[in-house]
Structure 1
Amino acid sequence: MTQERVSIQTADFSVSDEIAALRAGDARVGAVCAFVGTVRDHSAGQSVSTMELEHYPGMTEKSIEAMIDEALRRFDVYGARVIHRVGLLQPEDQIVLVAVTSAHRGQSFQACEFLMDYLKTQAPFWKKEQTPEGARWVDARVADDAALARWGIAASNA
């Protein structure tokens, strides 16, 4: 059975379970790189009490699948797993997991960073933070667009 590569879900996830499943049965794997993003209690100089994430079902998964395919073309990696949560989240909650396997660490690190740079700017998610001054939608930052540009991809959200 092949592991699902992309999950968009409201439920939390176990990093160790996901990595174990990604590595299972693949003795070629010598490196696993994983990134976990969490909700901060502040953003842009204001406190944040909650973050709500929305997505476009079907389109979001297809978009992330295409970027995993691109990562597999660009880097010498064996597999990748992306989980992104949606719904109402609290500070310290896990939002995203990107995990990549390869023979050696360098390729895993690069592919993981490539996928995360894409997720921050191009994946069809919408984030709304609740602050003391009310709710506000969060845009991709200029630094996120610059990170994506180093991979030769222009941000389409400008």
Structure 2
Amino acid sequence: MIDVRLLTQPFNPGQFVGPFTNAHPGLGGVCTFVGEVRGGDGVEALELSHYEPLTLPGMTALAERAVARFALLGVMILHRSGVMLPGEPIVCVSAAASHRRAAFDAVDFAMDHLKSDSWFWKREKKAGVWSWIEPRVSDHTDLARWD
């Protein structure tokens, strides 16, 4: 089972993770990561833009690669776009597998790709001014682990 969604409104990850877990009876483990807009450092808001005809197929291909690479029972990738406030979820990735290590690794794999090699343009607002954000060197280093 692959469930990939682009969301434009705030969401509660638990509303998605519960049904995803229930859809895989007999699994060995589920690993879930939820990324939120960081508060502090003066961040007032975060905005993610994308081009849906490219983004959704790219996210689906990433999910398919994760399922094949880690022999998953299922994967779910939820990603917000639009303007978000500190504390709001941006992304939720869940992987269901027969064994915990596959679930952990699949979520890590998906997040490294979403963070550094994805289809979103990101900017943040500080002191009323919007600035574009580029992936950090450490993001690219994390991604390179999977080659």
Shorter chain as denominator, the TM-score bin is over 0.9
Distance in 2 of aligned mates of 1:143 and 1:32: 26
Instruction: Show structure 1 runs of 4+ deviating over 3 A.
Output: none
State yes or no: 1:140 paired with 2:127: no
Assess if the C-alpha contact under 8 Å between 2:24 and 2:96 holds in 1. no
1:63/1:28 Cα in 2 relative to 1: closer, same or farther (>3 Å)? same
Q: 5+ unaligned residues in a row in structure 2: which ranges?
A: none
Which piece of structure 1 moves more, 63-72 or 23-32? 23-32
Distance in 2 of aligned mates of 1:19 and 1:131: 32
Between Structure 1 and Structure 2, the one with more helix by share is 2
Partner SS state of residue 52, structure 2: coil
Aligned counterpart for 1:85 among listed residues 80, 85, 100: 80
Offset, 1:58: 1.8
Assess if the C-alpha contact under 8 Å between 2:78 and 2:91 holds in 1. yes
| TM-score normalised to structure 1 length | 0.87
| TM-score normalised to structure 2 length | 0.93
The alignment covers a number of residue pairs equal to: 147
Q: Give deviations 1:69-98, integer Å, cap 9, x for gaps.
A: 111111121100111111111111111000
CA root-mean-square deviation: 1.5
Q: 5+ unaligned residues in a row in structure 1: which ranges?
A: 153-158
Q: Give deviations 1:36-66, integer Å, cap 9, x for gaps.
A: 0001124xxx411111111111211111111
Offset, 1:140: 0.6
| Equivalences for residues 55-74 of structure 1 within 5 A | 55-74=50-69
Aligned counterpart for 1:11 among listed residues 9, 12, 24: 9
Distance in 2 of aligned mates of 1:69 and 1:90: 30
